[in-house]
Amino acid sequence: MGKKGDLRHFERGMVVGARRAGLSISQSAQLLGFSRTTIFRVYKEWCTKGKTSSMRQSCGQKCLVDARGQRRMGRLIQADRRATLTEITTRYNRGMQQSICEATTRTTLRRMGYNSRRPHRVPLISTTNRKKRLQFARAHQNWTVEDWKNVAWSDESRFLLRHSNGRVRIWHKQNENMDPSCLVTTVQAAGGGVMVWGMFSWHTLGPLVPIGHRLNATAYLSIVSDHVHPFMTTKYPSSDGYFQQDNAPCHKARIISNWFLEHDNEFTVLKWPPQSPDLNPIEHLWDVVERELRALDVHPTNLHQLQDAILSIWANISKECFQHLVESMPRRIKAVLKAKGGQTPY
């Protein structure tokens, strides 16, 4: 028996071509491998409508989750974002005449645009700090990109020699759990790391300074006098520059405040809201360094190699990259205003 049902576009064209060549319905069915009924129907549709595309509804199993069911599933997701596939399926099936399996739940969620992802980590912002972030955004909502070009951004970051990835999964049989090929080695304190302090502005990348130990007020004073001061006076000779720093304890120490007060005629320290890494574009430069470190063909095996790699990556960050980050500041400010001082996608 020949093939029945709806045909693809090129198959329907073959049917019409065979009939127009003078072949009978039986001859066309035998040549193409379709049923006589299908040959008759396709050729009749072409004669009456002049089309070889299918006008029939698509075939296949009826969807078990209709529009109403999708709305129900959407409400379950909104109520508990952390629910597992099993939990969603179980809750959906409660009170339903026709139950569904987890595979159907997964397919429906993907059709609805949902995907299971690791949650984006954001700092917990207190009510007081939300107000301060909102005040900062309102005070700078009229700043243009040209205004933000006068800001020099700074921050510290730590890069680990080894990374632990809790998302790694492997396949093994019941008695293979201790097989060497099924193990992931770990190192206490991730093998150590390198802390650096850096700064940049729209005009250029600034220095990247390795920090031997923890950054205290004395060490930070050396950085400010040896690196911040020459950068600000060179890039902003008209004393119209702003220096940004966060609210780390060493940044707020008295000796640091006194130093900035003595040099307030050369540049201004930008009053920065607490818990606002999303407003500091240098955070994205740290992400660039981290990605490049992971992408190295030969990974550093000691702290000296790690430090050299970090300095090399920093020096090769493109101008377009860090300028684009500064140019995003008006959008970041709008995002804080929209979130009323809360977390933003940045």
Indicate if 22 and 163 belong to the same structural domain: no
Say what the pLDDT of residue 199 is.
97
- Give the domain CATH number at 233: 3.30.420.10
> Which is more confidently placed, 7 or 93?
93
Q: Is residue 282 part of a domain?
A: yes
Lowest mean pLDDT among 21-35, 175-189, 208-222: 175-189
Residue type, 218: T
Name 291's bridge partners: none
**Which amino acid is present at 288?**
V
Q: How far apart are CA 196 and CA 216, in angstroms?
A: 13
Q: Is the pTM of this model over 0.75?
A: no
Residue 88: which CATH number? 1.10.10
Same domain, 151 and 105: no
Compute the Cα dihedral for 242, 243, 248, 250 and give only its sign. Answer: negative
For residues 238 and 102, state if they share a domain: no
Instruction: For residues 260-277, give the mean pLDDT.
Output: 95
* Contact criterion met (CB below 8 Å) for 139 and 193: no
Separation of CA 180 from chain center: 34
User: pLDDT tens for residues 213-241?
Assistant: 788 999 999 999 999 999 999 999 999 99
Co-location of 266 and 310 in the same domain: yes
- What's the count of helices (H) and strands (E) in the chain, helices before strands? 15, 5
SS3 204: coil
Task: Indicate whether 60 belongs to any domain.
Answer: no
Q: State mean pLDDT over 60-78.
A: 83
- Please state the separation of Cα 198 from the chain's center in Å: 24
pLDDT band, residue 188 (cuts 50/70/90): very low
Is there a domain that residue 3 lies in? no
Are 209 and 256 found together in one domain? yes
Confidence band, pLDDT 50/70/90 cuts, at residue 149: very high
Average pLDDT of the residues in 183-201:
74
**Number of domains, the chain:** 3
Is residue 335 domain-shared with residue 187, that is, in the same domain? yes
- pLDDT for 273-300, tens place per residue? 999 999 999 999 999 999 999 889 898 9
Determine, yes or no, domain membership for 24. Answer: yes
Question: Is there a domain that residue 327 lies in?
Answer: yes
What sign has the CA pseudo-torsion 245, 292, 304, 299?
positive
pLDDT band, very low/low/confident/very high, at 178 (cuts 50, 70, 90): low
Question: Do 214 and 266 lie in a common domain?
Answer: yes
Q: Based on the domain organization, do 146 and 212 belong to the same domain?
A: yes
Q: Is residue 61 part of a domain?
A: no
Amino acid 23: pLDDT: 86
Confidence of residue 26 (pLDDT cuts 50, 70, 90): confident
- Greater confidence, 6 or 154? 154
The SS3 call for residue 157 is: strand
Q: Is the pLDDT of residue 167 over 50?
A: no
Residue 98 falls inside a structural domain: yes
In this prediction, residues 195-207 reach a mean pLDDT of: 96
Query: What is the rounded average pLDDT of the residues 129-153?
Result: 97
Distance of CA 165 to the CA centre of its chain: 17
Band of pLDDT at residue 2, cut at 50, 70 and 90: low
Q: What is the mean pLDDT of residues 165-191?
A: 51
DSSP code at position 197: E
User: Which residues on neighbouring strands pair with residue 120, listed in sequence order?
Assistant: none
313 and 200 share one domain: yes
- pLDDT-derived band at 52 (thresholds 50, 70, 90) equals low
Tell me, yes or no, whether 194 and 335 share the same domain. yes
Asked if the model's pLDDT at residue 165 lies above 50, the reply is: no
160-178: average pLDDT: 56
Q: What whole-number distance in Å separates Cα of residue 198 and Cα of residue 146? A: 22
304 in the same domain as 241: yes
Does residue 333 fall inside a structural domain?
A: yes
Q: Which residues lie closer than 8 Å to 194 by C-beta, 6 or more apart?
A: 158, 159, 161, 210, 303, 306, 307, 310
Half-sphere exposure of 12 (CA within 13 A, CB side): 19
At 253, give phi and psi (nearest 5°). Answer: -65, 155
The span from the CA of 36 to the CA of 132, in Å, is: 78
Write out the residue range of the structural domain in which residue 90 sits.
67-113
Query: Are 132 and 223 part of one and the same domain?
Result: yes
| Residue 305 one-letter amino acid | Q
Asked whether the CA dihedral 43, 49, 52, 58 is positive or negative, the reply is negative
Whether residue 175 is predicted with pLDDT greater than 70 in this model: the reply is no
Residue at token pair 């001061």: 229
